[in-house]
Amino acid sequence: MRTHWKIALASLIGGLALSAVLIVNSIGLRNLQYMYTLHTTEQKIIKMEGHQSANGYYLTKSIEPTQILKQRMQSQGWHYVQHEGNGYFFEKKQQQTIVTTTIWNHNYVLYQVQRDVVDLTG
């Protein structure tokens, strides 16, 4: 009887460990760290490092991601022009940029700032 109990417990622990590994693997360890940072700090937006493109990538878990985007852009002198699909168009003097948004991992929003012209973490 004790052997069956040990086997069941070992199987349960192994299954939980395998599930944790699969979750971390599907999300990615770096992305999991970003999610943890948003949960454990007062930061509303964090910059995601390591992307190969010239664009800037930022992550938020804000309830109002559109409002916080507009506020952050306005605080750095950018004026909201229009919204088309998942793109938000902004202007500053003679410059124009587009910030696209993507729902990421159910509860998060990923901002992609064209040419990384503004730091949204501010």
- Looking at the chain, the whole-number percentage of residues with pLDDT higher than 70 is 86
Position 9 in a domain: no
Position 16 in a domain: no
Position 36 in a domain: no
* pLDDT tens digits for range 22-31: 454 445 677 8
Position 95 in a domain: yes
pLDDT at 69 over 60: yes
pLDDT at 93 over 50: yes
Position 107 in a domain: yes
Range of the domain at 111: 42-116
Confidence of residue 85 (pLDDT cuts 50, 70, 90): very high
Total tally of structural domains belonging to the chain: 1
DSSP strand pairing (79-84 vs 56-60): unpaired
Question: For residue 48, what is the domain's CATH number?
Answer: 3.30.310.80
Position 60 in a domain: yes
Structure tokens, 90: 């902004």
Which residue reads 């993507």 in tokens?
A: 102
Average pLDDT over residues 108-119: 93
Position 21 in a domain: no
Position 73 in a domain: yes
